[in-house]
Structure 1
Amino acid sequence: MPSPALLPHLSAARAQLTQSTPALCLTFGDVPSEYAAAREGAALFDATDRESLLVTGADARDFLQRLLANRVTELAPGQGNRTLLLSATGKVLADLDLAVIDEQAFELSGAAGTIAPLAQTLDRYLFSEDVTLTDSSAEHTPLELCGPAAHGILAELCGPAVALPAEQHASISLVEPVGLTGQIRVTRLAIAGQPGWRLACGPDEVGNLWQRLTALGAAPAGFIARESLRVEAGQGLWGTDISDAVYPQEACLEDAFSLAKGCYTGQEVVAKIDAHEDLNKRLTLMTCDHDDPVPAGTRLYRQTAARRSPEGNGESGEPDAWRDLGVVTTWAYSFAFGCGAVLAYVKRGHQEPGTRFRLGAGPQSVTVEPVAAVPG
């Protein structure tokens, strides 16, 4: 749900919110323009429902190094990465962004609903370590910006004396940037699969930050445009495409774990999958032959070649069969492809671009696409 401090600004921009709880900002009235802003200009997204956990103490670094799937020890203050918390069986328990605040303070940012179970899980591994876990979600309330013009907008916001981070997941803290008061942390990272930035400033300043960014040329954009960008980029979303039912490699999360660091929970399973290329399914981008929404959970079927008679007479032992080979997790309209598109988990051996599947009982179908085929 958007931060209460941001709601007046969303209303002023004619945001269309869902009636659900929590509310979701669908659009500001012109989805194609919002999508175009992300591809050609700068799109501004409300991400104030994200949550964060602050991990502090003299043993915080070593503690996180032992538990998280990506490296921690080598990171300096101002650096970070995408990381995962895995189960002992190698399944994904949380998809997180790690930021090193200082030598004894680390922030984990996650989707809404992530932090409470994360804190409970981490607490179970705490014994005598000097580590404190603090839910800092109330002070997180970030906005997110992406698009080719985003860097220029941030440069103007920050002023000429500030060098914006150059590497992914690097961050800087700004005290009273141009036109604002208080402190803002700016992090460079992918937003809906696009090069972008996250700006976390706390609830007292988020409304002013929204106004400042829109005044500098950022176009407010909603969930519908964001989903189109995300699906085209083949990026899974926690709680929608990614859950504790999948392994990292199945969800295309190779950027969120390390095979080179020391032991961490679930490492042996992840390493075994990598070594043996033992994946039963993988999150896959597909285009639809229609524009109608496809519900999550829709099964994917493909007609397989008939098996030959065991007598060896060349005749078919049974007719061609439709095999259940996958399941849809997300649908969005793709402006790049000009049709509907889905993300789906597809079984091994059926993921090649051009492979076609029937949707449910048919007659509609989907076709596997390479993510690289999407412009931008």
Structure 2
Amino acid sequence: MTEMRAIQIQQGAVFEDGSTKESTVPLSFGNDTAAVQAARSGVAMCDRSHWGRIQLGGSDRLSFLHNQSTNDFKRLKPGEGCDTVFVTSTARTIDLATVYILDETVLVLLSPNRREALLKWLDRYIFFGDKVTLNDLTEQTVTFSLIGSESTALLQRLGVDDRSKQPYGSHWLATLSGQTVRIALGSGLALEGYTLTADRASAATVWQHLTDASALPLGDRAWERLRIEQGRPAPDHELTDDYNPLEAGLWQTISFNKGCYIGQETIARLDTYKGVKQQLWGIRLSNADAGTIATGTIITAEGEKVGTLTSLAKTEQGIVGLAYIRTKAGGAGLHVQVGEAEGDLVDVPFVTHARLEDRP
């Protein structure tokens, strides 16, 4: 990692704590605007190695994960994957994770600030006789996201077969600059791209190879901006004890017919009785100064409280954010007041507000 950090510094990286320690995150490469544009219409690469990676082993690994989160893992085969949500017994959100099914193990990609909590959470539910093992691979591996419409073309130039038509979460092993890399469909955002995982010893070689091939380095600050623009909910912002995955717009991560799992009764009841009282929306502010607004700000419409601001980012087009809004108050197009600023609710592509079969 020291070698990769040196490469990133040469590319303009500024780190989260102002140092170059291996544990720090590239906050920016001094190119945030260009990197965001590349993620939209070219190819950018984000270092997500500070995200958690947990490996589940043992013959009961799939049934165990099936019972601990919202998606259906008994339908998946090696080489496939999906997103899932870990929730409490009352269906409050813990984390949004991406799961990859391997031949003998399962790899789970977690948010950076949820790894230790999820390890403890999962370990609590491994009972005597369960053939399940947990292994934290975070310090042994790295994860990069290739983001943008030119991601497939870049990989093809590097000798990787085009598998872009396969389902989301599909993954396979490939060789990049002599290094073995697991490539998975999906960038982590609602943008075209791939998630790459490799041994930590390969980090510098793979990073250099991909950036030399025209992937523009993208820092964590630009990732956060894209996350908000795209509507991906994050722990401590949209994923907290205050909200459930239906409110967070994560319907696509939930199986409604797989049977019992932690939090299932609450989610089923909310779905059956149309009990989702608030929903996550994007918000675009028209006359705001980012310094005068903070997350947690109350949102009103016609003088009545309708929601709460949960995330905020500054873009070339103005201030954008994410907010939970009362379902009965309305959705996209609703004009709202956020502190002293005004704005309108907008659709964001990562979020859904109903089951697939019920969407217009």
Give TM-score scaled by structure 2 length: 0.89
Partners in 2 of 1:133 and 1:64 — Cα distance?
11
Q: Deviations over 1:28-79 (max 9, x none)?
A: 2222211111111101111010111111111112222222210111111010
| Number of residue pairs aligned between Structure 1 and Structure 2 | 343
Question: Does 2:228 match 1:231?
Answer: yes
Partners in 2 of 1:269 and 1:110 — Cα distance?
23
Aligned counterpart, 2:281? 284
- Code of the aligned partner of 2:10: A
Cα RMSD after superposing both structures: 2.0
Partners in 1 of 2:3 and 2:247 — Cα distance?
38
Partners in 1 of 2:238 and 2:57 — Cα distance?
31
The residue correspondences of 1:9-88 to structure 2 (distance < 5 A) are: 9-19=7-17, 23-88=24-89
- Following superposition, the deviation at residue 158 of structure 1 comes to 3.9
Alpha-carbon contact 2:25-2:50 (below 8 Å) kept? no
2:338 alignment partner, one of 359, 373, 376 = 359
Partners in 2 of 1:70 and 1:333 — Cα distance?
34
Give the stretch that moved more between structures: 46-55 or 85-94.
85-94
- Following superposition, the deviation at residue 228 of structure 1 comes to 2.9
Partners in 2 of 1:236 and 1:20 — Cα distance?
27
CA spacing shift, 1:157–1:291, aligned 2, 3 Å: farther
- Following superposition, the deviation at residue 165 of structure 1 comes to 6.9
Aligned counterpart, 2:100? 99
- Code of the aligned partner of 1:371: V
Aligned counterpart, 1:323? 304
Partners in 2 of 1:334 and 1:283 — Cα distance?
20
Aligned counterpart, 1:348? 327
Q: Deviations over 1:81-107 (max 9, x none)?
A: 0011221111112221111111x4111
Give the stretch that moved more between structures: 72-81 or 109-118.
109-118
Alpha-carbon contact 1:54-1:134 (below 8 Å) kept? yes
Alpha-carbon contact 1:193-1:229 (below 8 Å) kept? no
- Following superposition, the deviation at residue 5 of structure 1 comes to 4.6
1:209 alignment partner, one of 187, 193, 206 = 206
Question: Does 2:232 match 1:255?
Answer: no
Partners in 1 of 2:294 and 2:140 — Cα distance?
35
Aligned counterpart, 1:312? none
5+ residue gaps, structure 1: 304-321
Alpha-carbon contact 1:5-1:203 (below 8 Å) kept? no
Partners in 2 of 1:212 and 1:165 — Cα distance?
24
- Code of the aligned partner of 1:11: I
SS of 2:33 mapped into structure 1: helix
- Following superposition, the deviation at residue 258 of structure 1 comes to 0.8
- Following superposition, the deviation at residue 154 of structure 1 comes to 1.5
Question: Does 2:146 match 1:145?
Answer: yes
Tell me which structure has the larger Cα radius of gyration.
1
